[in-house]
């Protein structure tokens, strides 16, 4: 066991594989990001460079096997591509330890411990001087549709294989529908929820297929996803991060993206 007295920051969890999936989700969507760590836990709120996707997550200190943060708070800026490289080989029963030692404030240590503890690997990643942006979360969401994570992944792959560049998302009080049209030659709709005849569709949004594909890794964090859709707001994917915390991923539709361009 590491001597925690010389640690500025230290956390250990047996859910190393969940951290790996989270790292892959982050590197698929955001190049660089800044974690804020405190005695309460680890937080991140960042957008991609085009402001099409916003990720908001929190890992609670109480949910780790061991956790320590000596300062009131710390900023840990990382290149997520490099971070994912460091954790890419983690397997399902591996544990992970993240720590920063006193005197080595510019370096995040990443220790991967297999269940058998026969091959412990420690990697080191340079911490970048990044600012945590003050980003307001979209407000106004109401009811959600709960979708099994594996079914969401199958749906995105299914529609992606149709060859269309756009996916239409529409919802009623009790359902959410994903549809794809390939140049008017063929189309497909996939509906989640309690389907009832003659329900009025209240919201319709259009998304780039590639956008929804990039967030499919959120499905690996828990067995189910809550999906919220509301007029004039990004679609919201909400999920647990194993037993460690929660994540919200906001994805802007075509109209909201055009509004960004108009504002520039």
Reported as a single tens digit per residue, the pLDDT across 248-262 is 999 999 888 776 555
Task: Give yes or no for residue 21 having a pLDDT over 90.
Answer: yes
The answer to whether 188 and 179 have CB atoms below 8 angstroms apart is yes
* Beta bridge partners of residue 32, listed in sequence order: 79
Q: What's the pLDDT band for 197 if we cut at 50, 70, 90? A: low
Residue identified by tokens 């106004």 is 140
Q: φ, ψ for residue 65 (rounded to 5)?
A: -65, -40
Q: Would you say the pTM of this structure is higher than 0.85?
A: yes
**Residue 241 pLDDT more than 90?**
yes
Average pLDDT over residues 124-144: 90
99/185: higher pLDDT: 99
Least confident of 16-25, 177-186, 216-225, 230-239: 177-186
What structural domains and CATH numbers belong to the chain?
A: 4-126 (3.10.150.10), 144-263 (3.10.150.10)
Report which of residues 130 and 95 the model is more confident about.
95
**What pLDDT, on a 0 to 100 scale, did the predictor assign at position 81?**
97
Say whether pLDDT at 30 is over 90.
yes
With a cut of 80, say whether residue 210 has pLDDT above it. Answer: yes
Task: Check residues 116 and 98 and name the one with the higher pLDDT.
Answer: 98
The number of helices, as runs of H, and strands, as runs of E, in the chain is 5, 17
Mean pLDDT, residues 122-134: 90
3-class state of residue 28 by DSSP: helix
Average pLDDT, the chain: 91
* Predicted local confidence at residue 255, as pLDDT: 84
Question: Would the pLDDT of 216 be above 90?
Answer: yes
* Amino acid 198: pLDDT: 63
Q: What is the pLDDT of residues 40-94, one digit of tens each?
A: 999 999 999 888 999 999 999 999 999 999 999 999 999 999 999 999 999 999 9
**pLDDT score of 1:** 47
Of 24-28, 40-44, 73-77, 180-184, which range is least confident? 180-184
Q: In the chain, helix, strand, coil percent, each to 5?
A: 25, 45, 35
CA–CA separation, 137 and 25 (whole Å): 19
Cβ contact 162:189 at 8 Å: no
């Amino acid at each position: 066991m590491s001597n925690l007295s010389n640690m500025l920051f230290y956390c250990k969890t047996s859910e190393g594989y969940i951290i790996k999936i989270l790292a892959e989700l982050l590197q698929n969507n955001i190049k660089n990001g800044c974690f804020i760590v405190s005695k309460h836990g680890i937080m991140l709120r960042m957008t991609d460079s085009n402001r099409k996707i916003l990720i908001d997550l929190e890992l609670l200190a109480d949910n780790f096997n061991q956790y320590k943060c000596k300062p009131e708070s710390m900023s840990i800026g990382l290149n997520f591509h490099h971070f994912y490289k460091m954790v890419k080989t983690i397997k399902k029963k591996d544990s992970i330890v993240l720590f920063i030692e006193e005197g080595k404030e510019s370096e995040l240590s990443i220790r991967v411990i297999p269940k058998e503890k026969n091959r412990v690997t420690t990697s080191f990643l340079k911490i970048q001087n990044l600012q945590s942006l003050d980003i307001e979360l979209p407000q106004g969401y109401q009811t959600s549709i709960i979708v099994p994570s594996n079914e969401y992944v199958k749906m995105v792959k299914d529609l992606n294989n149709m060859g269309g560049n756009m996916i239409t998302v529409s919802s009623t009080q009790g359902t959410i529908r994903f549809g794809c049209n390939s140049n008017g030659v063929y189309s497909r709709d996939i509906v989640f929820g309690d389907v009832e005849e003659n329900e009025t569709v209240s919201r319709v949004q259009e998304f780039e297929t590639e956008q929804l594909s990039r967030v499919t890794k959120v499905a690996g964090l828990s067995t189910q996803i809550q999906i919220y859709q509301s007029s004039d707001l990004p679609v919201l994917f909400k999920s647990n991060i194993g037993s460690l915390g929660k994540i919200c991923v906001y994805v802007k539709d075509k109209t909201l993206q055009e509004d960004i361009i108009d504002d520039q």
